[in-house]
Homo-oligomer: A and B are copies of this chain.
Amino acid sequence: MSASPYKQLEQEFKRLHAFRGALSLLRWDAAVMMPRGSADVRAEQLAALETEHHALLTAPRITRLLDRAQANTQGLEDWQVANLREMRRQRDHAIATPVTLVSRLTKAASRAESRWLEARAEGGRFETFAPYLEEVVHLVRDKATLLGQALNLAPYDALVDEFSPGITTLDIDAMFKALSRRLPSLIREALLAQETRPLLPLTGKFPAGKQRALVTEVMKAVGFPFERGRLDESEHPFTEGSPGDIRITTRFDANDVFTGLLGALHETGHAMYDLGLPQDWREQPVGRDRGMALEESQSLLIEMMVCRSRAFVRYVQPLLAKHFGVSGPEWELENLYAHLTRVQRGLIRVDADELTYPLHIMLRYELEKQLLSGELAVRELPEAWNAGMEQRLGIRPDNDAEGCLQDIHWAVGSFGYFPSYALGAVIAAQLFESMRSELEGLDEQLAVGEFAGLFGWLRTHVHGLGAKVPVQELLKTATGRPLSAISFLRYVEAKYLESTASSAAA
């Protein structure tokens, strides 16, 4: 007797999972290990594997098996029915875009990325990059239209659905409306409150080797399994690999004691999510993460809510003394905490604090929708960007390298991705609020480097569900509410407007 259609699909998707793991490893190697001159060789390998992955996923056999399996789901467990839904989802996304369009977009993105790097290096010469971005926008627009038709979604929603399934423009608009009602005044108040607190500079040299030892010790405490993962260095921190072989990177700055640590812990948040995905479904679509918004919620929860807390500073302060031999008033708890929670109206998204970060995302969200709809021409982007920065943050970039050229996303065709960052922050706050109300003594645990309680909660309510339920349902079950900016606003208000008195007493 041959295997059931469902079981045959499990085999097919197990193979696709292995392909994606191989692709991820090739990308990790390209960023961390590969000799500089070998990019052409790697490009051929990635293209060959991606083409084959696409061919396997969109083969008529898969469609036939899906039709047969979905026609009769009797005898399947809940998670298997969800798995079928996720299989179908992957296949629908893959088949909606013709191979020729995918290939044209890949090539256009590759050209645009080179020009973006050049334009950025030259201090921001947007006009040399513009024609290449125009080509990418044109192709992404075609892709969004086709994807939207196939998925019965508006074009931009179809792009968002690729990264954060189950989230729509309506959800994003509601979130940004709530945030923009309160954040601008909150930033002003936080900056005023901040002025009254002293800030001693954390000077010194912090060699990469010592930073690595510190980061490794903290990552071990957090629970990162070094027997199934690695920490390396790269230009920008990232997470690659598979749940059984996680590769994270960070960037060490010898003049900054926190950059490398926080970068690594942000990525550790991603890694712990991936590692906590349901073991038994690991190689199946339903065993994957529930999209980029939830991924970002897990990294931001660790980096922002956990690591930029007094409890965590209590844990890490003696480790700074141990690894770097530092001491003195600037290395006291309150001064370290003040550094980790400093608010600043800055131009660069990746350097932004929790309060100003969502404003950076709102700007990008509006501009990318306008670019795709044609409302905004690519050549008008720098002026629209600068005006938007001035309106939202009251600062104006001196050049496009600090403005609309700072992110790689649009150059490589990643439209619909930016909202994930703001969604991630809001979801993280919502989860963190519920977690705190349920876990007694969480701060005391974090203050001694105990993270088991925290990750236990996350495994139950987030990690262990994989892609079984939509984000909104997951949130309702975990927090009693659908996506809402309330928790985030409560969280930042409490954190950034605390009275100086209570801060000294804490």
Q: Is the CB of B245 within 8 A of A34?
A: yes
Contacts of A49 in B (CB 8 A): 18-19, 22, 49
Contacts of A51 in B (CB 8 A): 15
Contacts of A225 in B (CB 8 A): 35, 37
Copies per complex of this chain: 2
Q: Is A122 an interface position by the 8 A CB rule?
A: no
In the assembled complex, the CB of A15 is this many whole angstroms from the nearest CB of chain B, namely: 5
Q: Determine the distance from Cα of A56 to Cα of B55 in the docked complex, in whole angstroms.
A: 12
Contacts of A34 in B (CB 8 A): 245
Q: Is A7 an interface position by the 8 A CB rule?
A: no
Q: Is A438 an interface position by the 8 A CB rule?
A: no
Contacts of A35 in B (CB 8 A): 225-230, 245
Q: Is the CB of A45 within 8 A of B33?
A: no
Contacts of A45 in B (CB 8 A): 18-19, 21-22, 25, 242
Q: Is the CB of B22 within 8 A of A22?
A: yes
Q: Determine the distance from Cα of A18 to Cα of B110 in the docked complex, in whole angstroms.
A: 15
Taking CB atoms and an 8 Å cut-off, the chain A residues in 12-40 that contact chain B are: 14-15, 17-19, 21-22, 25-26, 29, 33-38, 40
Q: Is the CB of A245 within 8 A of B22?
A: no
Interface centre among A15, A29, A45 (most CB of B within 10 A): A45
Q: Is the CB of A44 within 8 A of B245?
A: no
Q: Determine the distance from Cα of A15 to Cα of B49 in the docked complex, in whole angstroms.
A: 9
Taking CB atoms and an 8 Å cut-off, the chain A residues in 241-257 that contact chain B are: 242-245
Taking CB atoms and an 8 Å cut-off, the chain A residues in 212-265 that contact chain B are: 225-230, 242-245
Q: Determine the distance from Cα of A41 to Cα of B25 in the docked complex, in whole angstroms.
A: 11
Q: Is the CB of B33 within 8 A of A18?
A: no
Q: Is A52 an interface position by the 8 A CB rule?
A: yes
Q: Is A47 an interface position by the 8 A CB rule?
A: yes
Given contacts A25-B45, A26-B22, A283-B44, contact A33 B244 (CB under 8 A): no
Q: Is A48 an interface position by the 8 A CB rule?
A: yes
Q: Is the CB of A44 within 8 A of B18?
A: yes
Q: Is the CB of A244 within 8 A of B26?
A: no
Q: Determine the distance from Cα of A420 to Cα of B179 in the docked complex, in whole angstroms.
A: 69
Q: Determine the distance from Cα of A29 to Cα of B21 in the docked complex, in whole angstroms.
A: 13
Q: Determine the distance from Cα of A230 to Cα of B35 in the docked complex, in whole angstroms.
A: 7
Q: Is A85 an interface position by the 8 A CB rule?
A: no
Contacts of A14 in B (CB 8 A): 44
Q: Is the CB of A36 within 8 A of B230?
A: no
Q: Is the CB of B33 within 8 A of A33?
A: yes
Closest to A21 in B: B45
Q: Is A91 an interface position by the 8 A CB rule?
A: no
Contacts of A227 in B (CB 8 A): 35-37
Q: Is A125 an interface position by the 8 A CB rule?
A: no
Given contacts A26-B25, A36-B227, contact A48 B15 (CB under 8 A): yes
Contacts of A48 in B (CB 8 A): 15, 18-19, 22
Given contacts A29-B29, A45-B242, 8 further A-B contacts (CB under 8 A): A22-B26, A33-B33, A35-B228, A35-B230, A38-B228, A41-B242, A44-B283, A52-B56
Could you tell me which A residues sit within 8 Å of B by CB distance?
Answer: 14-15, 17-19, 21-22, 25-26, 29, 33-38, 40-42, 44-45, 47-49, 51-52, 56, 225-230, 242-245, 283
6 nearest CB pairs, A to B? A38-B245, A18-B48, A41-B244, A37-B227, A37-B228, A22-B45
